[in-house]
Amino acid sequence: MQCVILAGGLGKRLHPLTETLPKALVPINGRAFIDYQLACLARQSIGEVVVCTGYLGEQIANHVGEGSRFGLAVRYCQERTELKGTAGALRLALDAGLLTDAFFVLYGDSFLPIAFAPVFEQFRASGRPALMTVMRNENRWDRSNVIFAPPVIELYDKHGDDVVRARMTHIDYGLSVIARRLIANCVPAGVAFDLADLFHVLSRSGELAGFEVTERFYEVGSQAGIADFSRYAAEAGL
């Protein structure tokens, strides 16, 4: 199986730390954050990783290399002067010939302690071009943005009005599975495009499958998130 890590963000919430260091290399208990991600993916029987980089991406490539020390084959798709958004980054990877027929997508600041294989099995069984993992949230971790009607996402909308928000009980967990054909057919080349917009359209047409998880997620996009994940990693012996 293949996983694409979207690691091109600027990490502005972590300035001044990320003015000279990409978010993927933020130190957690003496190790770069991406080391935890890659070790986790290797445990999940992921064999191939594509890292979509942008801001200070050469530092990530220099640190990770070809991935052999993690038991992985790691390749890179580097955005240059202008970031193309999360879906646009996947289009660049497609055009570079790096994507398999179907692949996981993981954000570069997320650590998700769940089993990946059942997620992929649900994607295959759904017959749909994409699957989003979701967690019951009730506005606990952030504003809920999903109406989940198993086996599909009835609506994914980060900008809904209060009436729509009142029906939302779940949140995007941060792990997706996407068919390569979806990127080829629906994400134009050379323009900025966001996965949130693509998933919104898919949900409105009943084409976005859903998979509910119960384990909480961790992130290092904020100082509070770094402290939280640092405690978790130490307690879990990662």
Q: What is the pLDDT of residues 117-163, one digit of tens each?
A: 999 999 999 999 999 999 998 777 778 889 999 999 999 998 877 77
CA distance 72 to 61: 14
For residue 33, give the nearest of 1, 3, 11, 15 by alpha carbon. Answer: 11
- Backbone φ and ψ of 27, nearest 5°: -75, 130
Q: What pLDDT does residue 12 have?
A: 76
CA distance 222 to 17: 11
Domains along the sequence of the chain with CATH: 2-236 (3.90.550.10)
Between 145 and 41, the more confident residue is 41
- Count other Cβ atoms within 10 Å, centred on residue 224: 10
For residue 117 the two structure tokens come to 């294989």
Task: Report the chain's mean pLDDT, rounded to a whole number.
Answer: 92
Residue range 14-27, pLDDT digits in tens: 788 778 899 999 99
Least confident span in 1-10, 14-23, 72-81: 14-23
SS3 annotation, 130-170: EEEEEEECCCCCCCCCEEEECCEEEEECCCCCHHHHCCCCE
With pLDDT > 90 as the criterion, what percentage of the chain qualifies? 79
What is the end-to-end Cα distance of the chain in Å, rounded? 23
pLDDT band at 81 (very low <50, low <70, confident <90, very high): low
Asked if 76 and 54 touch (Cβ cutoff 8 Å), the reply is: no
CA distance 78 to 105: 16
Least confident span in 22-31, 57-66, 74-83, 181-190: 74-83
